[in-house]
Chain A
C-alpha cells in the first residue's frame, strides 16, 4: 500500500534532528587544525565551553608532513607546527578527544570517521571541511561548514540551517570493466556541471551504486561538493552494516531501524537526474574544474567559453590533443577521495611487474595510520616501493599542498584527489583528476592509458 506521506531519506533524518524550525541537532562534529583555531578562540573569548566533547572528535591532517615525522614539535614548517600545537592545546583545554600526529588513529578526518565506526546511518555530521559529504555514504546527512558554524556547533551542538532541497541521481545500467566509482562521479559532474546540485542534498541510487563497495560509495559522496551539492548520501544496506560491524565506535548490536532507513518508494525529489552508468568510460579531467572532464579515449576539447580558454592556457594543452598523449611529471595517490585500503589495493594490482616511468615522481599517501598499517600487513607498501613509488605517512598531503608535498610550477600531475583548481597542488601546477587504477597505470606509462587494455 502506498504511504500517505512518502518521505525521502533527507526528510527522515532532518525531521529526527529538528530541535526547532531552522535549528538542527548535530550528532557528530569532526574537527581538524586548519578551520578551527579561530572557532576555539571565539569560545574562549566568550567564556563558553564545548557543549558536547563526547560528540566531537579531532585529528591533525591538512598540515602534517608525510615524511614519517611523528611528533608535533618536530614539524619543520613553523606555521604548520604552531597550528597543530594550537589544535592540541585547544583539545586539551576544551576536553575534546584528539588523534594528533603520532597517534595510531591519526589520519584524514573523512577517512578516520568511517574507519572508527563513528560514521553511522541516520546521523547528522558536520566538519569545517567541504568534503564532509563523504560520510553520507553510510546514510548519514553530512555537511561541510565554515569556521563561524564550527564555533556555533562547538558551543551549542546545533546548526542554524534551512532544509536544503532534495535531488536524486539515479544510475542506470552496469558500468563496464575498468570503470570505477571515481569515473562515475567525474562523469556525473561532467554531465550536470560544477554547480549542477547547488542548494541540494543529493541521494545517489540505482544498481550501480548498490554494487559499489563502501569505499567506492565514499568516493562518490565525497565529490558531491564538486557538483555544488550540499551533501551526498546513499541509503544503508547490508554492505553498510557489515562495514560497521566490530568497529570501535559501532554499537554491539546493529539497530534494526538502520535496515529500513531509506527514501520511501513514492517519495518526491525536487530534482532528478539520470546517468547511464553503462556509457561511462575511465575519465580524466583536462581543465581547472572537476567538470572539465573527458573519457580517456577522448581528446582535449575545443574551448566553449573564456573560462575554458583560460583553463587550456593554464593547463598548457591544445584542443584536439588525445588524452593518452598527455605526458606526466608526477603521480599522487591519496586524499579523502581515494586513499582507503581498497583504493590502494586497486592501484597496487596495476603495478605487478612494472616500474614507474623515468622522469616521473610517484607517491602514495595512505588516508590514515590504520590504512597504512593494514596496507603494510598486506604487503602493498612493498608492491608500491618495488615499482618506484614513494610510500608516505598519512595526511591530506598533495590534495591541497599545505604541507611540503607540492608540485612545482608547470609540473603535470595525475592525481586521485578531488580538485584540479589553478594552483591547488602547487602554484602553477597542472592537475588531472583520475581513479587510483588510472593513476598507477599512468605512473608506469608516463602518460594516461586506457586501463581497460592494461596488462600486468
Chain B
C-alpha cells in the first residue's frame, strides 16, 4: 500500500445519502479476477442518467452512510482507479470504511455542515498527519484511530505486520485455540 500524504485539490460532489456499493460498482463487473481497471465502470448505471457528471478529482464529497450494503472491495478499487484519493462524508458504512483503509483511499468523516462547506468551496487539503481538512477560509479537525493513521501515513502492509507477530499467533494456537470444526475432515 502506498503511503497517504497530504491530499490536495478540487472536490467532486455526489449529494446523496446511503450510496450503496451496488451503485458504486454494479455486480456485472465483479466477475473480473483482476484488481485493476474498475474505474471506467464507477457508478456505471448512474453515469448513464441525463445530467450526471463526476469530475476526476482527488477528493469526493458524498452524503451520509456512504458505501453501505455489499462488502465488495471492488467499490474501493473503482473509486481509487477513477482517481479519488480521499472520500469526505458525514458517515461511512463499516465494511466500506475498513476496505478503504486497506487500499489507502482515505475515508474522512466530517459533520454535514463541514461537508457542505467543502463541497461549496470546491477545493480542499486533507492533512492526515495533523488530522485536518482545510479549505478556503476554514479548517476542521477529524478523528481517526491512532494505529490506523500510523499505518496509512507509512503505507504499512497489514499482512506483513501481523506475520511479524507470529510468536503471539503460535502461542494462541498452542494454548487457546478452540477445538474444531475441521473443514478438511468433513
1/0 per residue B145-178: CB within 8 Å of A? 1010000000000110111010011001100111
Interface residue from B16, B99, B145 paired with A162 (Cβ < 8 Å): B145
* A57 lies within 8 A of B183 (CB): yes
Interface residue from B20, B91, B99, B176 paired with A146 (Cβ < 8 Å): B99
Chain A interface size, under 10 / 10 to 19 / 20 to 34 / 35 or more: 35 or more
* B184 lies within 8 A of A419 (CB): no
Report the Cα distance A48→B34, complex, angstroms. 19
Q: In the complex, what residues of A have CB within 8 A of residue B34's CB?
A: 38
Is A319 an interface residue, CB under 8 A from the partner? no
Q: Closest Cβ of chain A: how far from B148's Cβ, in Å?
A: 9
Q: In the complex, what residues of B have CB within 8 A of residue A97's CB?
A: 183-184, 186
* A145 lies within 8 A of B71 (CB): yes
1/0 per residue A386-402: CB within 8 Å of B? 00000000000000111
- The stretch that binds B, out of A20-28, A293-301, A326-334, is A20-28
* A249 lies within 8 A of B165 (CB): no
Q: Closest Cβ of chain A: how far from B169's Cβ, in Å?
A: 6
* B183 lies within 8 A of A156 (CB): no
* B168 lies within 8 A of A83 (CB): no
Report the Cα distance A46→B34, complex, angstroms. 16
Interface residue from B17, B30, B173 paired with A307 (Cβ < 8 Å): B17
Closest to B33 in A: A37
Q: A248-B186, A421-B20 in contact; A228/B93 too (CB < 8 A)? A: yes
Closest to A422 in B: B23
1/0 per residue A8-29: CB within 8 Å of B? 0000000010011011010110
Closest to A25 in B: B172
Is B120 an interface residue, CB under 8 A from the partner? no
Q: Closest Cβ of chain A: how far from B95's Cβ, in Å?
A: 5
* B181 lies within 8 A of A145 (CB): no
Is A222 an interface residue, CB under 8 A from the partner? no
Is A346 an interface residue, CB under 8 A from the partner? no
Q: In the complex, what residues of A have CB within 8 A of residue B162's CB?
A: 23, 152, 155-156, 158, 160
Report the Cα distance A310→B70, complex, angstroms. 21
* A156 lies within 8 A of B169 (CB): yes
Q: In the complex, what residues of A have CB within 8 A of residue B99's CB?
A: 146-149
Report the Cα distance A401→B22, complex, angstroms. 11
* B28 lies within 8 A of A195 (CB): no
Q: A28-B183, A145-B95 in contact; A419/B158 too (CB < 8 A)? A: no
Report the Cα distance A148→B100, complex, angstroms. 10
Q: In the complex, what residues of B have CB within 8 A of residue A117's CB?
A: 181
Q: In the complex, what residues of B have CB within 8 A of residue A401's CB?
A: 27
Interface residue from A28, A228, A419 paired with B181 (Cβ < 8 Å): A28
* A152 lies within 8 A of B186 (CB): no
Q: Closest Cβ of chain A: how far from B177's Cβ, in Å?
A: 7
Interface residue from B28, B35, B165 paired with A38 (Cβ < 8 Å): B35
Report the Cα distance A19→B18, complex, angstroms. 35
Is A53 an interface residue, CB under 8 A from the partner? yes
Interface residue from A19, A160, A164 paired with B172 (Cβ < 8 Å): A19
Report the Cα distance A90→B58, complex, angstroms. 35
B interface residues, Cβ below 8 angstroms from A: 16-18, 20, 22-23, 26-28, 30-35, 45, 64-65, 68-74, 76, 91, 93-95, 98-99, 102-103, 145, 147, 158-159, 161-163, 165, 168-169, 172-173, 176-186
| Seed contacts A25-B172, A63-B31; 13 additional CB < 8 Å A-B pairs | A34-B30, A48-B159, A53-B183, A128-B71, A129-B70, A130-B95, A149-B98, A151-B159, A156-B162, A195-B68, A249-B181, A421-B23, A427-B45
22 sample A-B contacts, Cβ–Cβ < 8 Å, listed by A number: A25-B177, A34-B31, A35-B72, A54-B184, A55-B182, A116-B181, A120-B181, A145-B71, A152-B158, A161-B98, A194-B68, A195-B64, A198-B94, A230-B94, A249-B186, A251-B179, A251-B180, A289-B18, A307-B17, A400-B27, A423-B45, A427-B45
